[in-house]
A and B are shown apart, each in its own frame.
Chain A
Amino acid sequence: MTAPLLKVEHLEVRYGDLIGVADVSLEVPPGKIVALLGSNGAGKTTTLNAIIGVVPTSSGRIVFRSEDIAGMPAYAVVRKGVALSPEGWRLFVQQSVENNLMLGATPLADKSRIGGLLERVYTLFPRLAERRKQQAGTMSGGERQMLAVGRALMSDPQLLLLDEPSLGLAPAVVETMYETFVKLHDTGLTILLAEQSVDLALEVADYAYVLQVGRGALEGPAKELAGNAEVQRVYLGIG
């Protein structure tokens, strides 16, 4: 067995007196898609935000490529090869599509690579190429999601964190989006996917963790969890 690309051990995040995440542990092996499931408020977004470094961790370890990155600021974490496509997209709505993508390239040390990476994003999402001069705030939900993912890819990450990429999108758009994730996975990209929609995530994931009120409640290979009634129980908070 190879060493995991990302390993989270007993992560705890507090917002003052509030506990965002109480105890989450997970492993993401290189080249795999790992799903992070759970209902609203289970701690998925907080976990991803803690990994990328925009939310401080109060205890636990986050090991990326055998280096503890817990407590590192975001600019240091993304330079190590992690990128986040955040929940609700968090685009720069006043700026053009292309400027949004350029901002995604912030951590690149070698700026001459921007051209090639832009090309890659535009090939992956031809729609973005058509709209490159358009203001991000004037686009549809599906296009915004594409832009959020494209922007994250601009730093050429080894680990892509996807936060609720199906939220608020039409089923047909979600399907194309997930096909893109599979394509990215085929190129060797490692993905940690936070998702409320269980069936969708288990279809593409290799392994999954289910969170319940800030704790890891269940885990297993995606194929096994897919038919597991226990998942639904945890998910709905029954028992």
Chain B
Amino acid sequence: MQPISKDHSRIRGAHLVLLVVLAAVVLLYPLLTAKFPVYQRLGALVLLYAIGASAWNIVGGYAGQVSIGHAVFFGVGAYSAVLAYHHLGLPPIAGVPLGVLVSVLIAAIIGVPTVRLAGHYFSMATIAVAELTRVMTTTSDFLGGAQGLTGPTVPRSVLDLSFTSSLPYYYIFLAVLAGVLWLTWRMETSRMGFYLRAIKDNERAARSLGVMAGRYKLYAFMLSAALTSLAGGLYLTMFGFIDPDSGLGILISVKMLIMAALGGAGLLFGPLIGAAILVPLEEISNSVLGGRGAGLTFVVYGAIIMIIARFLPAGLLGLLTRLFKKSAAPGDRDAA
């Protein structure tokens, strides 16, 4: 008993140090890079994608329901924001609550019939809904059709959240990400997190013990949808433009999935780590290859998916935790 509890406290201590260092870097990053607006922008982008990937993680990681259609929630969030401006002349951010509401509704409509089925039915249903929404948006004048819609080009007030510097975006996104991670952590440590782990581990066993598996998976899906929609709304405030591809394209869904899986699906900080690796990688490849590299992104993502599936089922963070535990607790095996 003794060595096990000691190892636990050592691991916890190391976690704490790591967290403090990480928090300091994250908080000071825009000030450290004040002279390099490109890096500031990169930091803001990492955080934005981390919000989306962390939101995906709730249903894809914790509940083990792999959605490949989260672009629909992202798009609904972005479009609600731009519509609030375009049709009503409101600041884009005013459309976000509506986007969240609509996303939760869509999640319920997809989720109720599919969460009871095996995982791949859920994945296919989510793809179908996202693609259908994208195609329908292309033909809708109200939604700007294939050309898309533009947010306020000149900020009318601070409420438009339209800044030339990336610094304010960085801190806005950071605050939202902190909120998303806090919510995820609350969920993880609650009864719902306890049941979701059991469902992911062995759904049939969980159900036979009386766990309402369908209900908890649905809750996770709805929460995930709401937060993803938030990421979409924030995306619009920064980029000021949305069209069917940038808001509802399948690449958006795939990116969220890959970032979470690379960093560690079902782990609190997994998606943030995944985003911190993949966003810079993408920006670099875009600037090096320019327009010629458009198709290459898919190839790279495909390769990453294969590598994760084959070598990193628990993601980088899962791998690190395992390595650390092994070196910290060599006696664990003998105790077992």
Chain A contacts to B: CB under 8 angstroms: 49, 52-54, 73-75, 77-79, 83-84, 86, 90-95, 99, 102-104, 106-107, 133-135, 138, 151, 155
B201 near A155: Cβ-Cβ < 8 Å: no
**Residue among B4, B195, B201, B204 making CB contact with A133, cutoff 8 Å:** B4
Q: How far is the CA of A54 from the CA of B207 in the complex (A)?
A: 7
Q: Which B175-218 residues have a C-beta within 8 angstroms of A?
A: 194-195, 197-198, 201-202, 204-212
A93 near B207: Cβ-Cβ < 8 Å: no
> Chain B, interface size: which category?
10 to 19
**Residue among A49, A73, A107, A135 making CB contact with B209, cutoff 8 Å:** A107
Known: A133-B4, A134-B336, A138-B336. A78 touches B201 (CB 8 A): no
Residues of A within 8 A of B206 (CB): 92, 103
15 contacts between A and B (CB under 8 A): A54-B207, A54-B208, A75-B211, A77-B210, A78-B208, A90-B202, A90-B205, A91-B205, A92-B202, A94-B197, A103-B194, A103-B195, A103-B211, A106-B195, A155-B209
Interface of B is mostly: helix
Q: How far is the CA of A134 from the CA of B334 in the complex (A)?
A: 12
The chain B residue sitting closest to A83, CB to CB, is B209
B207-236 toward A: CB 8 Å interface, digit per residue (1/0)?
111111000000000000000000000000
B205 near A75: Cβ-Cβ < 8 Å: no
Chain B contacts to A: CB under 8 angstroms: 4, 194-195, 197-198, 201-202, 204-212, 336
Known: A95-B197, A134-B336, A138-B336. A106 touches B211 (CB 8 A): yes
Residues of A within 8 A of B198 (CB): 92, 95, 103
Residues of A within 8 A of B195 (CB): 103, 106
The chain A residue sitting closest to B214, CB to CB, is A73
Shortest distance in angstroms between A117's beta carbon and chain B's nearest beta carbon?
13
A74 near B210: Cβ-Cβ < 8 Å: yes
